[in-house]
Structure formats: C-alpha cells, structure tokens
C-alpha cells in the first residue's frame, strides 16, 4: 500500500480529480484481481493461498491527456505506474510488483478510423483484439495479427511486448503492422511518431516503444496496416519422420519466398501429446501444417511448390482435412482445462535465431532441460511456429506435473529451470524471447543478452524516465 | 503416453464452484462479457469473478460487502459459457457461490425480501398469486410475470397471432416468474419451487408442447432447470419459442402480413439469454423483415448478443441493468436505427424505460406483427 493512509487518500483524490471517482478503484477485490497477469509466478502464488503484491490504485483513463496527468502525479510522488491492457501477458509485465498505479487502458476503446483506401485502421490502445477484428471483418478486412489471445489482449498489449500471431510467417509480427503511434512519455509529454514507418527522415525512433513493455511510456493509439480477408485459405498437413528434414523444408519454403501464411511444425514430443489430444491424431514423427492464402490460383501454385519440397524431403502428405482441422481448432489449446493449468509448473521458453543455429539450439535446450531436471520428471515439448526469411522461432515449453507444494520452493525451482533454458538459448546464439516479451520473468537475463550494449539501453531508460516510475522491474530496468 | 494437460477435476460435476479453478486464470471470454464491456474492470469480468470465488475458497479474501457486491455484478447472461470452447459452466459457478452467500446470510438485505415475495406471490411486481390454468390441451403457453405485469401487450398479440394460425394454447404460469430471477440471485430453493409449479401445471393440462414468449423462458425451463435444479419438463413435452412457430407459419404461407409503414430504420435486439441457448435469431428477423425490410444489425448480436439488462441485475444493481439497456440502444443508434424491435416482455420493458432519454422508440415484435395481419 502506498504511503500512509493520509498519503493514500491524497493520491486517490488527485487521481479522481483527473479521471472521475468512478474510474479509480482501490477496493479489495479489484486489488486482488489486478495482482496477477497471465504469468505463472503470481498465479501459482495465489493458487497456494499466498497474497501477491497488489496495486494501490487501478485507474481507467479516458484519454491520452488524462494519462499524461496521471504520470505527472506519479512523478511528483514517485509512485510506480504499470500499464495494463488485457493482463494476458505471460511474463509478469503487467504485475504490480512494487504496488502503485495500474493504468488500465481498456477505456481507450475507440476505433477512430478505418481507411479502406490505404488499408489502415487507427484504434485506441485499449481496444480488444477480437472486437477490432469483428469491426474490420464487417468491411471485409482483417488485422493479420492472430495471436491466440486476441479475445483478451489489447492493441497496446499487442505492440508493447512485440507480439506474434499465427499467420505472422506471411504477414509479419504485430510491430510490422504499425504505421504510427501516439505515446505518452513517462514525464507526461504526448508524442506522435511519423505518419509512416518507411522513410528517411531521421532514425527509426518509433521502434523504441515496441518491446519496451511500458517502461518507456504508454501507447495510447496506433495506426495499423490491415488486409483484405483472403479469398482462399488452403491448409494441408504433412508428416516428417525427421525433425531435421522438416526444418529444412520450412527453410526452403521461406528462402524461396513461397509465402506460406503458416508453417506449424510440431516436434515428435508435441506430435505425440498435444496434437494427439486436441486433434485426435496418432502420428509418430513431426506433424507439420502449412497454409497458403489469397488469390486461389496463386495459393494453389504456392502450395504445390511447397508440397514438392516437403515430399522431396521425405514427408508423407496427410491431406487437406488434417490441416483444416488444425486451423479450426488452433485456439482450443488455450482453453482450460486443455491449456496448461495449476498446480502444474510450466513455462514457455520460446526463442528465435537464424536457420544455421535453430536446430542446434532446440536440441541444446531440450537436452539441458531434460537432463538437469530428470528427477523432477520434467517434460519438454516444442513447435516451430513463426518463420522468417532468415530463421525460425522455437516455441518450447517445459512442464513439471508435480512441483514442490511450498510456494517458495516451487518458485525457486521454476527460476532454476528458466536459468537452464535461457543459458542454452544465449549460449547457442538465440534471443531470450521472440514474442511474449521480457516482463519480470526474463528481466534478469537482459544484461547477459545484451552484453556491452546494455549500458546504452539503460541510458535511454534513464533519459526517458529519470524517476524510474514506468513499470519498474520489467524488461531489466 | 503422458497427457499435456491436467485431468478434468471430477469433483466439478458435483460441485459447480470448482469450475472457477478453470476460469480464474482464463481470459478467453472476456471480450464477450457485457459487464466487463461496460465497466472495463478485470474484477468485473469472467475471470475476475472466478478468481474472487477461488480466492475466497483459499482464504485470501472473505465475503464482505465489497466482495459480495462484486459477486452480484455478474449478469448471469451466459455469454462466457456460450463462447467457451470447453463449455465451462462459469455462470453456474457464480450462482453456486451466491447460493452459499445467501445461505450464510451475507447477501444484500433487499434480496431476501425479494426472495420472500417470489416465494409467496411468485413474482416481484404485484401482491397477487399466479392465476391457475383453465381447461386442458395439447399446447400450453407460458405467460410468466413479465408478460403479465410489465408488458401485457406482448401476450395479447402473441395469442392473437397463434389463433390466426390455428393454435389456441392453454395459458400456464400466469403471473409466475420463470425461476431465473431467484436462481440467479442465489435462492435455489425458491427457484426450484417456481419452476416445479409451472412444470406441474404443464403436466396437469396435458400439454405436449410448451410455447414461450422469450429466450429467457427457453433457458429457464431448459438448461437452468436441468443443470441448476435437476428439474425437467414432463416426459415428451417439447419446448418451443413462439417466434419459431410463427416463422414456420410464415414460411408455410399461413401467416399473411402487410408492410408496416412505421417500421423504418429499425434494429433487431436479440433478447437477453439468446446467446446462451444458441439461438440463431433468424426467425424473429424473418418475421420483422416481412413487415419492414431487413433489420439493421447491432454489433453485439446473435451468438455474441449482449443482454439488455433484463436480468436479475434489475433488482440487485439497477444502475448496471440500465447501463446494459443503454448500451444496447446506443449500439442500435450507432448502426443508424431509431427504432428497436424485440419480442421478450422483460427486454421490452427495460429498453422502453431507457429509450426516451436517447430519443429512440421501442416496439414489440408480436404487437407489430399482430397490427399488420392481412
Ligand atoms: C491464452 C494466451 C495465448 C497467447 N497467445 C499469444 C500469441 O499467440 N502471440 C503473442 O504474441 N502473445 C500471446 N500471448 C501473450 C499475450 O497475450 C500477448 O503478449 C498480448 O499481446 C498481451 O496483450 P495485453 O493487452 O493482454 O497486455 P498486458 O498483459 O496487459 O501487458 C503486456 C505488457 O505490455 C505493457 N502494456 C500493455 N498495454 C500497454 C500500452 N498501451 N502501452 C505500453 N505498454 C503497455 C504492460 O505493462 C505489460 O508489460 C498469449 C497469452 C495467453 C494468455
Ligand atoms: S468460461 Fe471458458 S472461456 Fe470463459 S473463463 Fe471459463 S474457461 Fe475461459
Ligand atoms: S454470465 Fe455474463 S456477465 Fe457473468 S461472467 Fe458470464 S458473460 Fe460475464
């Protein structure tokens, strides 16, 4: 709880003056519910009946100007401010570890403009993904960022941790869709980035806010590139007996620019577990779904070329239905009880690197985790879901079904597994994260990840946020 | 082979509150929750209620004025479950928690008074006992309390329309609540008695078909009765919406309607509970279109149709109920509508209370249809 009762009341009334009393909450239930985002640590803690750090206030501003005022107050009293979109982040980025003010952006929920000529949408940061998508679909358009969390994540939350969606392989990461943004800086200044991202009028400073996870300010508005709903979507499944061949097939599809919108390659352990449970298939090997969309003739030709690559590398064609079924059920994996669930311990240790390193990284991480935590009967599964011209993303996971009952012991073990996983990543030339962000969970690895560049990043943070009010403890700051 | 997810808790089948352990950290239906939509608060959203209940069970919070107040904010509209891939019975879990709160004497005082009225009079609107059915017949029509006391025009018009197509139903449940209100507020025993009384009437008149005026009744005598109260209609009795019966007659050419001049720029509001019963909403739209062309569509429609506030919130948190009604009307206004049309008496009543403030008009579908008979 911030300061004395007197201090608390004083701050509360100042906040109420800005946004109105209805939009400042400090009640017990709200403070409890906002004490955890989707990260395992606080969820586990609460599951075991242990209280977690709570925010002092939850504020719902209605404009960038109101946010600016809130940040001025936070600077005056040195109160932490934690931006909160949908709270679906998995890294503890929105967890109020030092209390303070949660700025929930969901009142910033207006879709300001849909430009059907330039194919852009301008939306406030608190618009929920699926709601934005429904509005676009009514005009035959789509925002091609399809994260499994679209039902709960916000536009600001898409961008702040640099999210990636199911069809990123063709359409890019969320950050690639941004034309421009409005951001409230930590000192309350409101800035607008240039109207388009591709220009030569100075450095690309707008990218500073992508991946900063609220430590450099609060995104309040974004103009994003949208697409027409594709005329066709062709999906197909193939089965490889060797993961190496499957990875090579993916690499060839990408480097030959066949433009698949999805290549989802499950490792043999995932094929035997999640694919079996959600889709009901019993395959041994590496199950891969590939998809092509857009003009039906072009998509069919691209698919044909892709199938030549796959079959040439020994894949068995499983047909269309097995690809379409995956597409239809692609988000079922995220609904309880199908998703991972407490009291289990789990973590998504995802990473990205270039093609020359990705397979070695996979095996190194798998070996390190499985060997180090054999006694805990750890399981390691992975799939490769986001592909680039130069490399691929590995979505790996560890699962321990019977973690220690004691919350502190469980947390300590969890952190040890993460140390092992991230050491394997860094030692094998990977990035410690590709799309979930850093948050609290990976903050301690940032210094190692960035090495001698880290002080440079720290100086940017100190310049933008001299009082360190913005989301302290996150992204390593 | 090892499973990639934990087994489903078998206790969930007997203890619905346990569903909150699944929902407390799941955010996958927050986008459809009407209360979350108007409040923007995580604590007043599906996972917020689930986490609150789960935390109370873990001793992290107690039921007190604040936490009970939060618990009673859920509209019990079923949108969450309707949009849940694994069909988690979260609304039942929230109601089960309310049952406990009620039993511990911790629910807001006015609700106990309301429950007494429901138990005694069968409705919260008038100190009048339900009217017993007269006669017998194959087809019964459930009247309920809203069509009796809040929007009688719907009943008059619906019976007239039915008569035109050759159906003369026996009226049952005249002036008796369908049981939803008591169930939703946590008074399971009262809800049980209300539904059981209507079921007994249906059996007594020998009906094989039970027609209802609103999706709320379909829900009450279907899923609610079965899942929350282990009650079911007499063997062989089929539950049907009057709109479906009329639509079938329209398609078969048994119902001839004139164009309604007054029906311009109108939007159809799917009544409260439509989404949770999986209703497509085609029948009322086709009926409306026969009078005044295609309706304008709300953003929150069909499988994502938000309630208009005709829920227990009208009694527990009227302000929230009115906010929901206002949100429906504003949704219609944004689509360019000046008139909203729906058939459910409860929805018509609350929408028409709010509409004048927004310069809008509310029309009952049955009344419109009855006024345009050829
Ligand atoms: C079931 C499930 C599936 C998921 N699938 C995917 C997926 O497919 N792809 C993917 O990329 N991610 C996925 N995620 C992770 C998560 O949903 C994304 O990171 C999402 O984009 C976060 O959005 P949010 O609005 O919930 O952000 P929050 O969790 O509220 O915040 C995330 C971080 O961004 C900051 N932040 C939020 N809003 C702003 C703002 N306006 N300005 C500045 N900072 C802000 C917060 O402080 C925090 O650090 C998944 C999560 C879940 C629970
Ligand atoms: S009802 Fe389904 S979607 Fe909603 S919170 Fe529960 S598990 Fe998630
Ligand atoms: S029943 Fe309705 S109000 Fe309650 S949690 Fe579900 S969607 Fe929200």
Q: Looking at the structure, tell me whether residues A359 and A304 fall in a common domain.
A: no
pLDDT for the residue numbered A337:
84
pLDDT tens for each residue of B304-313: 999 999 999 9
ipTM summary value: 0.96
Report the alpha-carbon distance of residue B247 to residue B256 in Å, rounded: 11
Averaged pLDDT for residues B358-365: 97
Q: Looking at the structure, tell me whether residues A353 and A434 fall in a common domain.
A: yes
Q: Looking at the structure, tell me whether residues A157 and A219 fall in a common domain.
A: yes
The number of C-alpha atoms within 13 Å of A45 and in the hemisphere containing its C-beta is 21
Q: Looking at the structure, tell me whether residues A217 and A245 fall in a common domain.
A: no
Q: Which of B28, B40, B59 sits opposite A152 (nearest CB)?
A: B28
Domain presence at residue A459 = no
Please tell me which residue of chain A has the smallest CA distance to B81.
A335
**Per-chain mean pLDDT for chain B:** 95
Averaged pLDDT for residues A405-424: 97
Of residues A191 and A278, which shows the higher confidence score? A191
Interface test with A, best of B25, B57, B60, B320 (most A CBs within 10 A): B25
pLDDT tens for each residue of A18-63: 999 999 999 999 999 999 999 999 999 999 999 999 999 999 999 9
Of residues B138 and A7, which shows the higher confidence score? B138
Across chain B, where does the E strand assignment appear?
Answer: 139-144, 170-174, 209-212, 238-241, 266-268, 296-297, 339-342, 361-364
Whole-structure pTM value: 0.96
Domain presence at residue A472 = no
Please tell me which residue of chain A has the smallest CA distance to B59.
A49
Which residue from B139, B200, B148 is spatially nearest to B168, judged by alpha carbons? B139
Spell out which residues of chain A touch residue B299, defining contact as CB-CB under 8 Å: 134-135
Task: Give residue A3's pLDDT band: very low, low, confident or very high (50, 70, 90).
Answer: low
Report the alpha-carbon distance of residue A160 to residue A85 in Å, rounded: 10
Report the alpha-carbon distance of residue A367 to residue B362 in Å, rounded: 67
Report the alpha-carbon distance of residue B344 to residue B308 in Å, rounded: 10
pLDDT tens for each residue of B249-291: 999 999 999 988 878 899 999 999 999 999 999 999 999 999 9
DSSP string, B219-271: HIIIIIIIIIH-----TTPEEEEHHHHHHHHHHTT---B---TT--SEEE-PP
CA angle A128, B88, B13 (to 5 degrees): 165
**Shortest alpha-carbon distance between residue B275 and chain A (Å):** 17
**Shortest alpha-carbon distance between residue B31 and chain A (Å):** 5
The residues, any chain, with a CB within 8 Å of residue A466's CB and separated by 6 or more, are none
Residue B91 Cβ contacting ligand 3 at under 6 Å: yes
- H or E stretch covering A287: strand A286-294
Give the residue, by CA position, lying nearest to ligand 1 atom 50. A149
The residues, any chain, with a CB within 8 Å of residue A411's CB and separated by 6 or more, are A41, A44, A45
Q: Looking at the structure, tell me whether residues A214 and A239 fall in a common domain.
A: no
Averaged pLDDT for residues B156-163: 98
- H or E stretch covering B193: helix B188-205
pLDDT at A245 over 70: yes
**CATH code of the domain in which A384 resides:** 3.30.300.330
Give the residue, by CA position, lying nearest to ligand 2 atom 5. B23
pLDDT at A302 over 90: yes
Give the distance (Å) from ligand 1 centre to CA of residue B76.
28
Range of the domain at A61: 5-106
Domain presence at residue A89 = yes
| Domain final residue, candidates A334, A361, A394 | A334
Pocket residue to mutate for ligand 1, from A66, A70, A89, most atoms within 8 A of Cβ: A89
Q: Which of B8, B47, B52 sits opposite A337 (nearest CB)?
A: B8
Contact B28 A334 (CB under 8 A): yes
Note whether B31 contacts A: Cβ–Cβ < 8 A.
Answer: yes
In chain A, pLDDT over 70 holds for what percent of residues? 99
pLDDT for the residue numbered B2:
40
Give the distance (Å) from ligand 2 centre to CA of residue B136.
44
Interface of B with A in 292-321 (CB under 8 A): 299, 304
Q: Looking at the structure, tell me whether residues A124 and A223 fall in a common domain.
A: yes
Q: Are A200 and A265 in contact (CB under 8 A)?
A: no
pLDDT at A241 over 50: yes
Task: Give residue B1's pLDDT band: very low, low, confident or very high (50, 70, 90).
Answer: very low
Burial of A55 (0-12, 13-18, 19+ CB in 10 A): buried
**CATH code of the domain in which A20 resides:** 3.30.43.10
Contact A27 B85 (CB under 8 A): no
Task: Give residue B12's pLDDT band: very low, low, confident or very high (50, 70, 90).
Answer: low
- End-to-end Cα separation, chain B, in angstroms: 67
Q: Which of A36, A331, A336 sits opposite B22 (nearest CB)?
A: A336
Parallel/antiparallel/unpaired status of strands B361-364 and B339-342: parallel
Q: Are A256 and A302 in contact (CB under 8 A)?
A: no
The ligand minimizing its distance to the Cα of A43 is 1
Which residue from A165, A171, A187 is spatially nearest to A72, judged by alpha carbons? A187
pLDDT for the residue numbered B293:
86
Domain presence at residue A466 = no
Domain presence at residue A467 = no
Does a cis peptide bond (omega within 30 degrees of 0) precede residue B155? no
Q: Which of B23, B66, B84 sits opposite A27 (nearest CB)?
A: B66
Domain presence at residue A14 = yes
Paired with B170 in beta bridges are B140
- H or E stretch covering A410: helix A407-427
Any idea which residue has 């409101």 for tokens? A190
Atom of ligand 3 nearest to the CA of B76: 1
Residue B26 Cβ contacting ligand 2 at under 6 Å: yes
Contact A109 B40 (CB under 8 A): yes
Q: Looking at the structure, tell me whether residues A329 and A368 fall in a common domain.
A: no
CA angle B43, B45, B47 (to 5 degrees): 85
Task: Give residue B3's pLDDT band: very low, low, confident or very high (50, 70, 90).
Answer: very low
Q: Which of A33, A49, A274 sits opposite B4 (nearest CB)?
A: A274
pLDDT tens for each residue of A203-228: 999 999 999 999 999 999 999 999 99
Report the alpha-carbon distance of residue A250 to residue A389 in Å, rounded: 10
Q: Are A83 and A103 in contact (CB under 8 A)?
A: yes
Contact B8 A401 (CB under 8 A): no
The residues, any chain, with a CB within 8 Å of residue B17's CB and separated by 6 or more, are B53, B57, B93, B96, B97, B100
Q: Looking at the structure, tell me whether residues A262 and A327 fall in a common domain.
A: yes
**Alpha helices (H) along B24-84:** 34-39, 46-57, 65-71, 79-82
Atom of ligand 3 nearest to the CA of B46: 5
Residue B22 Cβ contacting ligand 2 at under 6 Å: yes
pLDDT tens for each residue of A145-182: 999 999 999 999 999 999 999 999 999 999 999 999 99
Task: Give residue A432's pLDDT band: very low, low, confident or very high (50, 70, 90).
Answer: very high
Residue B305 Cβ contacting ligand 3 at under 6 Å: no
Q: Within 6 Å (CB) of ligand 1, which residues are found?
A: A 37-38, 82-90, 93-94, 105, 125, 147-149, 152-154, 156-158, 160-161, 163-165, 213-214, 218-219, 334, 435-437, 439, 471, 474; B 27
A 10 A CB-CB count for B131 gives 14
Which residue from B231, B220, B242 is spatially nearest to B141, judged by alpha carbons? B242
Report the alpha-carbon distance of residue A48 to residue A42 in Å, rounded: 10
Nearest-Å Rg of the Cα atoms of chain B is 20
pLDDT for the residue numbered A338:
82
Contact B29 A151 (CB under 8 A): yes
Residue B29 Cβ contacting ligand 2 at under 6 Å: yes
**Shortest alpha-carbon distance between residue B43 and chain A (Å):** 5
Report the alpha-carbon distance of residue B144 to residue A175 in Å, rounded: 54
| Domain final residue, candidates A84, A106, A128 | A106
Q: Are A87 and B27 in contact (CB under 8 A)?
A: yes
**B361-364, strands of its sheet edge to edge:** B296-297, B266-268, B339-342, B361-364
Report the alpha-carbon distance of residue A107 to residue A113 in Å, rounded: 17
Quote the number of domains for chain A.
4
Q: Looking at the structure, tell me whether residues A169 and A272 fall in a common domain.
A: no
The ligand minimizing its distance to the Cα of A130 is 1
Give the residue, by CA position, lying nearest to ligand 2 atom 6. B23
The residues, any chain, with a CB within 8 Å of residue A184's CB and separated by 6 or more, are A64, A67, A68, A71, A190, A191, A217, A218, A220
Q: Looking at the structure, tell me whether residues A73 and A9 fall in a common domain.
A: yes
pLDDT tens for each residue of A250-269: 999 999 999 999 999 999 99
Which residue from A177, A100, A343 is spatially nearest to B6, judged by alpha carbons? A343
Instruction: Give the DSSP letter of residue A230.
Output: P
Give the distance (Å) from ligand 2 centre to CA of residue B19.
9
Domain presence at residue A193 = yes
pLDDT for the residue numbered B4:
47
Q: Which two tokens stand for residue A198?
A: 């591709």
Spell out which residues of chain A touch residue B53, defining contact as CB-CB under 8 Å: none
Please tell me which residue of chain A has the smallest CA distance to B299.
A135
pLDDT tens for each residue of A71-92: 999 999 999 999 999 999 999 9
Please tell me which residue of chain B has the smallest CA distance to A88.
B27
Q: Looking at the structure, tell me whether residues A211 and A146 fall in a common domain.
A: yes
Q: Looking at the structure, tell me whether residues A392 and A422 fall in a common domain.
A: yes
Contact A337 B6 (CB under 8 A): yes
**CATH code of the domain in which A311 resides:** 3.30.70.3450
Q: Are B34 and B79 in contact (CB under 8 A)?
A: yes
Task: Give residue B11's pLDDT band: very low, low, confident or very high (50, 70, 90).
Answer: low
Give the distance (Å) from ligand 2 centre to CA of residue A226.
29
Spell out which residues of chain B touch residue A340, defining contact as CB-CB under 8 Å: 4-6
B338: left (phi over 0), alpha (psi -120 to 50) or beta: alpha
Domain presence at residue A387 = yes
pLDDT tens for each residue of A327-368: 999 998 899 888 888 999 999 999 999 999 999 999 999 999
Pocket residue to mutate for ligand 3, from B90, B228, B305, most atoms within 8 A of Cβ: B90
């Amino acid at each position: 709880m911030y300061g004395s009762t007197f201090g608390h009341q004083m701050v509360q009334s100042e906040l109420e003056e800005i946004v109105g009393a209805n939009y400042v909450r400090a009640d017990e239930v709200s403070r409890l519910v906002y004490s955890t985002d989707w990260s395992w640590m606080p969820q586990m803690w609460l599951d075991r009946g242990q209280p977690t750090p709570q925010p002092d206030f939850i504020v719902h501003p209605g404009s960038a100007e109101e946010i600016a005022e809130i940040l001025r107050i936070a600077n005056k009293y040195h109160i932490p401010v934690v931006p909160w979109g949908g709270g679906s982040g998995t890294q503890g980025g929105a967890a109020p570890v030092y209390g303070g003010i949660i700025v929930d952006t969901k009142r910033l929920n207006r879709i300001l403009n849909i430009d059907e000529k330039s194919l852009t949408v301008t939306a406030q940061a608190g618009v929920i993904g699926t709601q934005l998508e429904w509005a676009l679909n009514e005009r035959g358009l789509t925002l091609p960022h399809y994260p499994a969390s679209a039902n709960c994540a916000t536009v600001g939350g898409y961008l702040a941790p640099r999210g990636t969606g199911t069809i990123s392989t063709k359409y890019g990461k969320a950050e690639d869709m941004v034309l421009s943004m409005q951001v409230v800086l930590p000192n309350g200044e409101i800035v607008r980035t240039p109207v388009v991202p591709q220009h030569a009028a100075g450095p690309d400073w707008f990218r500073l806010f992508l991946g900063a996870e609220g430590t450099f300010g609060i995104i309040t508005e974004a103009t994003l590139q949208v697409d027409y709903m594709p005329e066709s979507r062709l999906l197909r499944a193939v089965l490889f007996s060797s993961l190496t061949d499957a990875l090579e097939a993916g690499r060839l599809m990408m480097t030959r620019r066949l433009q698949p919108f999805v290549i989802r390659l499950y490792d043999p352990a995932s094929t035997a577990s999640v694919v079996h449970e959600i889709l009901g298939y019993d395959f041994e090997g590496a199950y891969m779904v590939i998809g092509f969309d857009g003009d039906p003739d072009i998509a069919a030709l691209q698919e044909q070329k892709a199938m030549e690559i796959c079959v040439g590398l020994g894949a068995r064609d499983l047909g269309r239905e097995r690809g379409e079924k995956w597409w239809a059920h692609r988000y079922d994996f995220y609904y309880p009880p199908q998703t991972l669930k407490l009291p289990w311990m789990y973590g998504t240790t995802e990473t990205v690197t270039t093609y020359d390193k990705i397979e070695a990284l996979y095996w190194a991480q798998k070996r390190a985790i499985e060997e180090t935590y054999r006694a805990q009967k750890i399981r390691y599964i992975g799939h490769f879901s986001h592909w680039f011209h130069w490399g691929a993303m590995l979505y790996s996971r560890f699962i321990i079904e019977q973690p220690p009952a004691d919350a502190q012991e469980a947390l300590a073990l969890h952190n040890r597994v993460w140390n092992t996983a991230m050491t394997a990543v860094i030692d094998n030339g990977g990035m410690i994260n590709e799309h979930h962000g850093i948050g609290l969970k990976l903050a301690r690895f940032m210094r190692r990840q960035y090495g001698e560049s880290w002080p440079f990043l720290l100086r940017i943070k100190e310049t933008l946020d001299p009082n360190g009010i913005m989301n302290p403890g996150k992204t390593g700051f | 082979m090892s499973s990639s997810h934990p087994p489903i808790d078998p206790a969930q089948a007997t203890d619905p509150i346990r569903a909150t352990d699944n929902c407390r950290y799941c955010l996958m239906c927050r986008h459809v929750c009407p209360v979350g939509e108007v409040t923007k608060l995580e604590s007043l959203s599906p996972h917020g209620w689930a986490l609150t209940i789960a935390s109370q069970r873990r001793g992290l919070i107690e039921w007190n004025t604040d936490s009970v107040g939060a618990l009673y904010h859920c509209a019990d509209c079923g949108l969450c479950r309707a949009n849940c891939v694994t069909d988690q019975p979260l609304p039942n879990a929230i109601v089960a928690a309310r049952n406990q709160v009620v039993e511990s004497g911790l629910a807001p005082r006015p609700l106990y008074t309301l429950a007494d009225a429901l138990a005694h009079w069968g409705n919260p609107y008038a100190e009048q006992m339900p009217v017993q059915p007269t006669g017998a017949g194959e087809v019964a029509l459930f009247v309920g309390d809203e069509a009796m006391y809040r929007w009688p025009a719907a009943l008059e018009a619906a019976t007239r329309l039915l008569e035109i197509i050759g159906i003369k139903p026996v009226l049952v449940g005249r002036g008796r609540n369908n049981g939803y209100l008591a169930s939703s507020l946590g008074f399971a025993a009262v809800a049980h008695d209300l539904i059981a009384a209507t079921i007994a009437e249906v059996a007594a008149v020998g009906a094989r078909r039970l027609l209802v005026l609103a999706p709320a009744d379909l829900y009450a005598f279907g899923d609610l009765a079965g899942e929350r109260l282990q009650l079911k209609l007499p063997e062989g009795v089929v539950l049907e919406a009057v709109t479906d019966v009329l639509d079938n007659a329209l398609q078969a050419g048994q119902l001839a309607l004139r164009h309604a001049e007054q029906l311009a720029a109108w939007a159809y509001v799917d009544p409260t509970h439509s989404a949770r019963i999986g209703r497509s909403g085609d029948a009322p739209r086709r009926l409306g279109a026969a009078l005044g062309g295609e309706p304008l569509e709300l953003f929150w429609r069909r499988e994502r149709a938000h309630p208009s506030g005709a829920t227990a919130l009208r009694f527990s948190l009227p302000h929230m109920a009115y906010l929901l009604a206002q949100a429906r009307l504003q949704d219609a206004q944004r689509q360019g509508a000046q008139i909203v049309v729906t058939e459910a008496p409860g929805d018509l009543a609350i929408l028409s209370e709010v509409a004048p403030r927004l310069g809008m008009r509310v029309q009952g579908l049955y009344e419109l249809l009855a006024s345009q008979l050829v």
